[in-house]
Amino acid sequence: MTENAVTENPVTENPVTENAVTENAVTENAVTENAVTEKAEQKSFHTPDETRSFDFGAVDLLSIGGSEIGRLTLRPGWRWSSHVKPLAGTELCEAPHFQYHVQGTLHIQMADGTEFDARPGDVTALPHGHDAWVVGSEPVVVVDWWGASNYAKTQ
């Protein structure tokens, strides 16, 4: 088959390129191989591998399963542009995030002007280029699978 040949996908009956099928298989294998370790692991945020503190907050990091997961705790009054921007040295947060919101309300403002509030039980996928701040008097707790390893890291 040629590089750009189109075949019928028997599952969806939509045309797909052979490259797309091959790329998906490679990606799926890489994810499986990297996400699963040879042995079971268990860690706790009660004893993180690393903690980075900054004004009005902290991030606890765990290295597990070949990845890093972070728990951010942000106190009332915290705002990325006020409290992390000086550490990061960028105008907006340039770390993408994939987060589960455990506690509190976090207001997020994207570079394109999109804004929303993330509340307990929400899952957010944020590309780079955003600001965020705690809304109200309750601390925000977020578990972050992307971007946590670079969070509040000094340049």
Give CA–CA dist 130/80, Å, rounded. 9
Helix, coil or strand: residue 9: coil
Please report the pLDDT score of residue 4 as a whole number.
Answer: 44
Average pLDDT value for residue range 84-93: 90
Chain-centre distance for alpha carbon 12:
30
* Cβ proximity of 61 and 49 under 8 Å: yes
* Cβ proximity of 73 and 58 under 8 Å: yes
* Cβ proximity of 100 and 123 under 8 Å: yes
Q: Which residue has the higher pLDDT, 118 or 16?
A: 118
Of 75, 81, 68, the C-alpha closest to 34 is 68
**Tens of pLDDT, residues 102-138:** 999 999 999 999 999 999 999 999 999 999 999 999 9
Can you tell me which residue has the tokens 């309300």?
105
**Tens of pLDDT, residues 19-49:** 444 444 444 444 445 556 688 999 999 999 9
